[in-house]
């Protein structure tokens, strides 16, 4: 998982740590050379570091030797030779290995240090050939993981300038960054540039299609996916394109079409090794009632990707839903061992333990998940619901509140407001429940479930006129949200006075505004939830039940 290390002090640490990485490498070659700290920069000036600081990357050669093993490009130039490409490839391999290994370290300090080493190694690879886009992409990905978005933009721009704008990989990475930051117009522009640079670049077509799908533009997304399949040669066919087409068809109830896309996907070389396609196909068959086929497909997915957190999560939760609790626990536990930093697997295991009455064990897992990723609001919600069922009302209130204050503008906060409102309604705190439902619809005006739950509460309280008004307003707001024309997103600080008022009502202390963003980033895991969807909305005339808020 990733950390948010975007304060100025942390940036200075990145530069200094990168320099220290260069010192360690240079010290192993010649004892009489003074290793000097080479500052890490994110602009074109980074490429001049070797000339400014000498052979900081290290040259493992003796005077007069013609063999350059992992030496700098400058050293090879001075010897009258062209740097060997194998040296750059080896540096890139080692940098990627460090980057990937860092994601499995539990210690924040160790993970950050290893990322510094990876950045320094990518810089070393960059010094061999400043026009090779792989090093730029590698450094940019690490900076995005650390939420240093401005620095990532600079390194991507430097790469595009060095390549003359014809590297589709850099444009795609740039587009993903802007999409992550909410700059949709820029993201579309960069995806368009990527497909113009290389129309056979499958990642650009897939990324662009997924952007449109997330915005609700399903027809446009389908066109982009299909265009990608047509443009990319069959020998280089992308499993992601077939997978996304199948998932989109499955979400819209087109079962036969989804099955056909999955089948075509696994026939390709990349698709047969894609755990995602096997997982989604297994979920499709499970929903269709073919349990044996679903299990076979899950097993094929694990054969292709044994550590896939998505497959372990999907298989375990599916087994729990159909009643095989012991098997589900076994699958989720094994998935947690293989992916120790995955909070979604941990939350699913905790929820299963709570449902089986093991609240003490569930608390241990829930708490572990909140420590690993304090911003995972679904975990706060699940924990609060578990405590509510266990009769710990005050503890549930406290957990709802802590989850909301993590990120009150996030749509996941709407579920917390909603669940908290139902709790207060059940406890006959109608005024507070009304305020909480109001907060929920301000955060997510397009959630029909929240509007109907609020209207139902007013009906139960005998206020039929208000219930009708809420339903009418719900129809309007849901329609606006579906057309992406609503402007109800709350501005920063809008909720602060209301939070303080709620805190005074329930006897809790409102926390101070926090500027510490050094938490895990779980955004790379949210695709697991894509396969499940929300439960049916609350039906009119039914009493409020706990199942309506899970």
User: pLDDT tens-digit profile of 28-68?
Assistant: 444 444 434 444 433 343 444 444 444 433 322 333 332 23
User: Could you tell me what percentage of the chain is helix, strand and coil, using 3-state DSSP and rounding each to the nearest 5?
Assistant: 70, 0, 30
Q: CA 237 from chain center: how many Å?
A: 25
Reply yes or no on whether the pLDDT at 501 is more than 80.
Answer: no
Reply yes or no on whether the pLDDT at 451 is more than 90.
Answer: no
Reply yes or no on whether the pLDDT at 483 is more than 70.
Answer: no
Q: Which helix (H) or strand (E) holds 520?
A: strand 520-521
To the nearest 10°, the Cα dihedral for 78, 84, 87, 90? 170
**Whole-angstrom Cα distance, residue 199 to residue 229?**
11
pTM, rounded to two decimals: 0.62
**Whole-angstrom Cα distance, residue 465 to residue 455?**
10
Backbone angles phi, psi at 282, to 5 degrees: -65, -40
Predicted local confidence at residue 540, as pLDDT: 34
Predicted local confidence at residue 513, as pLDDT: 39
**Whole-angstrom Cα distance, residue 545 to residue 550?**
10
**Whole-angstrom Cα distance, residue 117 to residue 29?**
18
Reply yes or no on whether the pLDDT at 429 is more than 50.
Answer: yes
Q: Which among 540, 367, 531 has a CA at the least distance from the CA of 464?
A: 540
Backbone angles phi, psi at 234, to 5 degrees: -60, -30
> Between 74 and 202, whose confidence is greater?
202
- Give me Rg for the CA atoms of the chain: 26
Predicted local confidence at residue 187, as pLDDT: 93
Least confident segment among 7-11, 188-192, 419-423? 7-11
Q: What is the mean pLDDT of the chain?
A: 76
**Whole-angstrom Cα distance, residue 302 to residue 311?**
7
Highest mean pLDDT among 229-238, 335-344, 466-475: 335-344
Q: How confident is the model at residue 491 (pLDDT cuts 50, 70, 90)?
A: very low
Reply yes or no on whether the pLDDT at 2 is more than 50.
Answer: no
Q: What is the 3-state secondary structure (H, E, C) of 36-52?
A: CCCCCCCCHHHHHHHHH
Highest mean pLDDT among 40-44, 131-135, 514-518, 519-523: 131-135
Reply yes or no on whether the pLDDT at 524 is more than 50.
Answer: no
pLDDT over 70, % of the chain? 72
When pLDDT is averaged across residues 402-419 and rounded to a whole number, the result is 88
**Whole-angstrom Cα distance, residue 358 to residue 356?**
6
Domain-by-domain residue ranges, the chain? 2-198+349-549
pLDDT tens sequence across 252-308 = 889 999 999 999 999 988 888 988 999 999 999 999 999 999 999 999 999 999 999
Predicted local confidence at residue 43, as pLDDT: 39
Reply yes or no on whether the pLDDT at 328 is more than 90.
Answer: yes
* Cα 236 to Cα 258, 330, 427, distances in angstroms: 21, 37, 59
Predicted local confidence at residue 51, as pLDDT: 47
Predicted local confidence at residue 331, as pLDDT: 94
* End-to-end C-alpha distance for the chain, whole angstroms: 26
**Residues 6+ positions from 61 with CB-CB distance below 8 Å:** 29, 67, 68, 69, 71, 75
pLDDT tens sequence across 70-127 = 344 454 445 455 677 888 888 889 988 888 888 877 777 888 888 888 898 898 888 8
Predicted local confidence at residue 482, as pLDDT: 62
Rounded to 5°, angle at Cα 104 from 101 and 109 = 90
Least confident segment among 41-50, 234-243, 360-369? 41-50
What is the DSSP pairing of strand 2-3 with strand 520-521?
A: antiparallel
> Between 202 and 60, whose confidence is greater?
202
Q: How confident is the model at residue 210 (pLDDT cuts 50, 70, 90)?
A: very high
* Cα 283 to Cα 189, 247, 254, 276, 343, distances in angstroms: 35, 10, 14, 11, 21
Reply yes or no on whether the pLDDT at 384 is more than 60.
Answer: yes
When pLDDT is averaged across residues 509-522 and rounded to a whole number, the result is 37
Q: Which among 545, 323, 318, 531 has a CA at the least distance from the CA of 422?
A: 545
Predicted local confidence at residue 458, as pLDDT: 86
Check: CB of residue 88 under 8 Å from CB of residue 97. no
Predicted local confidence at residue 314, as pLDDT: 94
Reply yes or no on whether the pLDDT at 349 is more than 90.
Answer: yes
* Cα 259 to Cα 21, 214, 278, 444, distances in angstroms: 50, 22, 11, 33
Q: What is the 3-state secondary structure (H, E, C) of 114-157?
A: HHHHHHHHHHHHHHHCCCCHHHHHHHHHHHHHCCCHHHHHHHHH
Predicted local confidence at residue 284, as pLDDT: 93
């Amino acid at each position: 998982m990733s950390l948010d290390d975007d304060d100025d002090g942390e940036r200075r640490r990145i530069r200094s740590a990168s320099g220290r990485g260069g010192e360690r490498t240079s010290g192993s070659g010649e004892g009489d050379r003074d290793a000097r700290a080479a500052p890490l920069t994110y602009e074109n000036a980074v490429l001049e570091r070797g000339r400014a600081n000498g052979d900081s990357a290290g040259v493992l050669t003796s005077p007069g030797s013609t063999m350059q093993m992992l030496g700098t490009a400058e050293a090879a130039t001075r010897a009258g030779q062209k740097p060997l490409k194998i040296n750059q490839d080896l540096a890139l391999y080692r940098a990627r290995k460090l980057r990937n290994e860092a994601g499995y370290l539990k210690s924040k300090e160790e993970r950050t240090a290893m990322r510094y080493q990876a950045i320094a190694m990518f810089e070393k690879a960059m010094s061999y050939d400043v026009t090779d886009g792989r090093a730029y992409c590698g450094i940019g990905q690490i900076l995005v993981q650390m939420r240093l978005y401005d620095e990532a933009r600079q390194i991507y721009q430097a790469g595009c300038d060095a390549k003359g704008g014809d590297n589709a990989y850099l444009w795609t990475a740039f587009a993903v960054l802007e999409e992550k930051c909410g700059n949709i117009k820029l993201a579309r522009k960069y995806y368009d540039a990527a497909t113009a640079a290389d129309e056979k670049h499958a990642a650009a077509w897939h990324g662009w299609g997924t952007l449109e799908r997330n915005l609700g533009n399903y027809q446009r997304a389908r066109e982009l996916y299909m265009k990608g399949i047509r443009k990319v040669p069959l020998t280089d066919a992308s499993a992601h394109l077939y997978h996304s087409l199948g998932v989109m068809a499955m979400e819209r109830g087109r079962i036969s079409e989804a099955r056909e896309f999955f089948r075509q996907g696994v026939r390709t070389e990349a698709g047969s090794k894609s755990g995602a396609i096997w997982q989604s196909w297994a979920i499709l068959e499970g929903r269709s009632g073919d349990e044996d086929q679903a299990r076979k497909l899950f097993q094929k997915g694990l054969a292709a990707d044994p550590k896939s957190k998505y497959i372990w999560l999907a298989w375990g939760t599916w087994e729990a839903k159909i009643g095989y609790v012991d098997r589900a626990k076994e699958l989720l536990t094994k998935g947690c061992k293989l992916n120790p930093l995955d909070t979604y697997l941990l939350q699913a295991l905790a929820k299963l333990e709570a449902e089986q009455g093991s609240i003490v064990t569930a608390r241990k897992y829930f708490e572990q998940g909140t420590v690993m990723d304090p911003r995972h609001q679904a975990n706060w919600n699940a924990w609060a619901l578990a405590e509510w069922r266990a009769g710990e009302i005050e503890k549930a209130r406290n957990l709802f509140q802590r989850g909301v204050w993590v990120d009150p503008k996030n749509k996941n906060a709407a579920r917390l407001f909603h669940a908290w409102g139902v709790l207060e309604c059940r406890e006959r705190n109608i005024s507070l429940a009304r305020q909480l439902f109001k907060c929920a619809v301000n955060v997510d005006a397009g959630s029909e479930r929240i509007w109907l739950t609020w209207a139902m509460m007013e009906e139960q309280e005998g206020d039929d006129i208000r219930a009708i008004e809420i339903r009418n307003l719900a129809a309007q707001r849901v329609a606006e949200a579906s057309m992406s024309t609503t402007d109800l997103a709350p501005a920063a600080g809008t909720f602060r006075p209301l939070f303080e008022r709620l805190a005074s009502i329930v006897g809790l202390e409102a926390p101070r505004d926090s500027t510490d963003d050094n938490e895990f980033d779980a955004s790379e895991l949210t695709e697991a939830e894509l396969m499940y969807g929300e439960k049916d909305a609350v039906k009119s005339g039914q009493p409020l039940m706990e199942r309506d808020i899970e």
